[in-house]
Each structure stands twice: as C-alpha cells, then as structure tokens.
Amino acid sequence: MIVDFRFKLACARSIAMIFMLLAGTLPAAEQSIKPAVPPSLEGVTWAGPGVALSDLRGKSVVILVYATNYQVATDWPTQFLAQLKLASQNKPVVILAINADKKADLDLTYMNAREFNGPNILHGRDPLLPARLGMKSEFFKYLLIDPTGKVVGSGDAGEHFTNGEERRYALAWKITKSEDLGEFEIIDEQMPTKIKQMLWPYELGRLPAETDLKKARMKLDEEEQKLVDKAFDRYLDAEVKKICKGVEGTIEEQLLAFERAKCLHGAFRTKAQAEQIKEAGLRLYQDQEFKKELAAKQAYDKALHQCATAKNASTIRPRLMQGLAKQYKDTLYGEMAANDGKAVRPKSIHAWKDFTEAEIQTAASKQKKFIEEVSLKIPCAGMKSYETKRFLFYSDIPPQIINGMYLPYLDAMYKQLCAAYGIDSVKNIWRGKAIIVAFANESSFQQFEMIFYQNSKPGAQGVAHCDTNKNVVISCYAGKDPKYFAVVLVHETAHGFSWCYKSAESLPNWLNEGASEWIAHRVVTGDTSIERKIQAAMVTLRNSRSMGGDFYTLEHIHAWQYGLAASITNYLLNYEPSGRPSTSSAKTRGKVSRYRKLIDGIKDGLPWEDALRETYHLTPLQLAHAYGQSIGIPDLQP
C-alpha cells in the first residue's frame, strides 16, 4: 500500500476559500487530525537547548514535522519554507521544525540548504512524534497552536492556492493575515534586528547565565545598552507581578510561580527585582504541603518523559501512574496520575466519529465534485461515472467489464470485510462513498497522480489515498490482465476499508498488506497470482530460515514478503494454540474473533506488539516460531 497525504486546497481561487483560511478552517476533506491539546515534546532531541511549549505561552507556535526521504516531482517544500520563514519574521511566532527521519542523529543538511533558520526557528528530531500526533505520514505536516496553548489548526504543509502563477501556501498566508499571533515579552517590534536576535532566546523561555548576558551587552553601544536594560526591567517587573499573583493562587498556579521564580532568580541575580523573586519562591518552599505537591509534579513529569520515549508506553504508563497515585495521594498530580492510570486500555483519541446522514450526503456531494474536477483536468475519452451504494467509480474501462466484474467484486469485498471485522454490512464505513478512479492506460494514471498528488508512482498499478477526515480515493489502471486488475482493485480498496475501521490508528504494514492480500484472494475467484506469491515466499523462507529480518518493522514490505504477509494473515485467522486446526464452526468463529480483537487493540491505540500479546499470547518472536512450525520451518526467525 502506498498512502499519500498531499491534499491541495480545493477551489483555491475562490473567495470562499480565502475566507475559510482567515477563519482558521479548511474544508473537511483537507483537514488533518487536530489533537485537543498540544503534544508532549519530551521525546524531541534538540539541536541546541531544548524548549517546552509551556515556555511559549503568549505566542503562536508552529510544530512542523518533516522527513527528507521522500521523492517529489517538484521541490515545493523549498518554496513553502521560504514563505513560512518570511511570514513569521518579526512576529511572536515560534517554529519548531521536527525531523522524523529514521536516522540515528539529527541532520540539518536539508534545512540548511534551504536556509530555513533564524532566531525563532528551532530544530529537533523525533521519529515517534508523527505517531503521537496521529499523522499517517511524516512528510511536511503541521500543527498550529495559538497564544493560549490551544491547537487551532493542522494539516498538510503543501496546502495552497494560486495567485496568478504563484503558489501561496495556506499556513504562511494565514500567519501573514492573522491579527492575533500573541505578544513579545521582551522584544519591541521597533528594536533594531541586532537586538531582537540577541533577545529571542529569552522569548523562547531560555534564560542564559547572567555572565553571558553581560558579555553580549558589552558588544552594544550605549544607546543599544539602554534599550536592552529598559526591555529587561519592563519584563522583570511584569514577571514579579505574575509570580506574586501565582503565590496566592491555586496549587497549579503556585507550582508554575515557583518554577518561574527559580529560573528567573538564577538568570538575573544582580537585577533589582531578584530579591522580590527570591522571597516569593522561598515563601512557597517553606510550606510543607507545597513541597509535597512539588515532589508529586516532578515525579509525574519524569513519568511522562519515560512514556514519551518508550515504544511500549501504553503498557508501562498505567503501571507508572498507578504507582504515583499511591505514593502521592491527596496531591494535585497524584489525582491526575490516578485518573490517568485507570485507563489501562484507552480508546484511541483518533477514533472516527459517527457521521449523520446529512454529513454523509454532503461528503458524497463533494466527492462528485471531485470527479468533475478529474474530468476537467484529465480529459480522457470514454470516462464514465458508476455509482453503487458504497462506491463512486469513474473509469474509461468498458462498461460491461465494470458492471460484470469489478463492481460485484467490490461489493463482495465490502460484505466479507464487514463480517471479518464484526460490522453489520448495512452500516456505511466510508465518509460518503469510496472513490475509485480507474484508467484503462498507465499514462492517464500517472498523469492523475502527478496532478492531484504531485507524485509519480513508477511500478505501481494502484494506490490508496486515505486522509485523516476518512476520505478514501483509489487510483489505478487496468493493465493487460482483467483478473489481476480485479486483485489490485480489491487489494487497494481493502486498505481504505482498514483505514476507515474504528479509528485513524495505523496497522503495521505487514498486517495491513496481509489483510488486503487475504481478502483479494478470497474475493477474486479464479486468480492465482496471490497463491503464486505465497508459494514463492515459501521457497525464500525455506532457503533463508528467516522472514527477512525487517518484516515486522518495514514501512513498506519487500515484494517477496507480500506472499508471506498473506500466508501469516491466514495463519492468524485460523490460529490454534495447540497447532492443530479445527473445522468446527464455533471454533472458527472464535478464531476470527481473536483476529478481530488484534485489529481492535491496534485501532484502540495499543502498539501492535502489545495487542498481539493480549489476543494471541505471543511475542513477535514467538509468532515467527509458531508460524514457522505450521509451515514446516520450526527454526524460522523474524
């Protein structure tokens, strides 16, 4: 499966689109998952001093997640980055550029080559951040956080509209036009650029040693020194007021005031305001109840850091939180830990909502407009629309083949997957309908991919495009073998079905491809292509005694591993702990239920390894050995 998440803003030239951008909303089909609260940055490795989102309150923050291991037909990211950098200059906007490449170290070569740097641009690395944000891809996605700390926007950085021949990227344009980006605490917008750059670290919550400030100050002329001194006096006076107010506030406000006092006193010991700051901090620290609350917060923050950097976070988090709740009973963070620890199996925060009939009809109407757009931009002769209860099919393949073969196969796939996942087939799993754009020729398919998704797909016969608003578009071309094309069609559409089941949590690629191969093999009778893949995989397995070493971890499994994925999926669907298959219908239902629980666990947010242990009582290594035993290779290694 190849999933592409680059969705351009539809009807970009329209006035309506510009109004929606100004209002902070995008059409439903283009928006990405928007978490209710900002994500934890505990897992980020920074290129320099780190930063916490709490330090950036009062300013707008862009979390830009990107990867460099993607090939694009045009280098649009360079233009996007230039516009974003320009839009944020001299504004209270902080950009956190987080690289998600699966590399050992942070490499800034890509961003340096595009001159994406500046005092308000911080670089870091966290390969796990896209998963924590529910992103289906790490290729240039963003979150926009307002000055109050609320996530107000998210999406694909490639979203744009055109102004003549120029592309205007939506995120940069929105920042340019916004009237509420927050405020500077120290910087005055009229200050010379030299002083602004000197003061930006303080705006980021970074408080260098006072000796470093004195050294930097000595490099300024007398007038510039006066500007800096005045700015710091104004800043510290305001901070003293905030701290004193916090001391008299709630426990949470007291904790924030204490942390702020501690940081400021360390950085400004010789300033006139330092004594007031110290007295406020000591007043709190002399209270034994407050010290207990402080210890609870520090333990809670440490536990969050462990969870943010652990692959098995869903397993260890309840245990850590339950321990904290017991140790720090009757404290604010003890109560927070108790509530956190109760959710041993939390439902995914990315669970799909139930759409009303009106919302489904609205989505279907937009999907038909998308088909009209395809017809305008790729004017192939003979393209016709076919509509069933669940699918919108647009193609130039002969109607008798579509009506006699492809549409019945898709309907059969839908019913069988509903049965496998325990869904009533009367229920509509799509948002509206699944769109199928099927061309007779490869050239039209490649043209479609380039125009609508800015990517060529050499070697691919079909692609499933799924977005985080539950929209599914399958693009493909027929090739020379109608039966094999039916396999491709069902396989790719099954990816869309799996994506739309329960939540936007991703299945591991080996399981995702295996499920799609399995259903295509069941539905498309008379085709032997998948059986041949399985047989070829068996030869490789017997010769190597290994599943490839990377089968479980690859983002896209190797071609020979598709047969393995289909075979191991069939094994999981028919799994018997004793190793002896049973033909009783009751046991067969139990086996399907076990597989369904595996998928449910992953879709509820569990790492697939944890879901496997929970449902099959197997580790990934044990699964390899058990599967190997079933095919006569007892020493099979992952």
* Ranges of each domain in the chain: 15-177, 193-286, 290-342, 351-504, 511-638
Q: What percent of the chain has pLDDT over 70?
A: 86
Res 388: pLDDT: 92
Which range, 174-188, 366-380, 479-493, 596-610, is most confident? 479-493
Per-residue tokens: 115: 């001159």
Residues 6+ apart with CB under 8 A from 497: 413, 414, 417, 429, 434
Task: Give dist(CA 398, CA 381) in Å, integer.
Answer: 12
More confident site: 450 or 7: 450
Res 16: pLDDT: 40
* pLDDT tens digits, 536-572: 999 999 999 999 998 998 889 999 999 999 999 999 9
Per-residue tokens: 597: 């629980």
Task: Give dist(CA 319, CA 50) in Å, integer.
Answer: 28
- Assign 437 a pLDDT band (cuts: 50, 70, 90): very high
Burial class (CB in 10 A: 0-12, 13-18, 19+), 400: exposed
Res 311: pLDDT: 59
DSSP-derived 3-state class of residue 174: helix
Nearest residue to 432 (alpha-carbon basis) of 393, 392, 491, 403: 392
- Checking if the pLDDT of 129 tops 90, the result is no
Q: Are 490 and 523 in contact (CB under 8 A)?
A: yes
- Assign 23 a pLDDT band (cuts: 50, 70, 90): very low
- Assign 304 a pLDDT band (cuts: 50, 70, 90): confident
- Checking if the pLDDT of 4 tops 60, the result is no
Res 535: pLDDT: 95
Task: Give dist(CA 128, CA 531) in Å, integer.
Answer: 36
Same fold, 15-177 and 351-504: yes
Which of the residue ranges 23-32, 466-475, 483-492 would you say has the lowest mean pLDDT? 23-32
First to last CA, the chain: 21
Q: What is the CATH number of domain 351-504?
A: 3.40.30.160
- Checking if the pLDDT of 333 tops 80, the result is yes
Res 152: pLDDT: 84
* pLDDT tens digits, 609-636: 888 988 888 889 889 989 998 999 988 9
- Assign 39 a pLDDT band (cuts: 50, 70, 90): low
Task: Give dist(CA 226, CA 487) in Å, integer.
Answer: 74
- Checking if the pLDDT of 582 tops 50, the result is no
* pLDDT tens digits, 164-185: 677 888 899 999 988 889 888 8
- Checking if the pLDDT of 19 tops 60, the result is no
Task: Give dist(CA 111, CA 84) in Å, integer.
Answer: 13
- Assign 312 a pLDDT band (cuts: 50, 70, 90): low
DSSP-derived 3-state class of residue 119: coil
Per-residue tokens: 300: 């809670």
Instruction: Provide the mean pLDDT of the chain.
Output: 83
Residues 6+ apart with CB under 8 A from 200: 119, 120, 187
What fold, for 15-177?
Glutaredoxin (3.40.30)
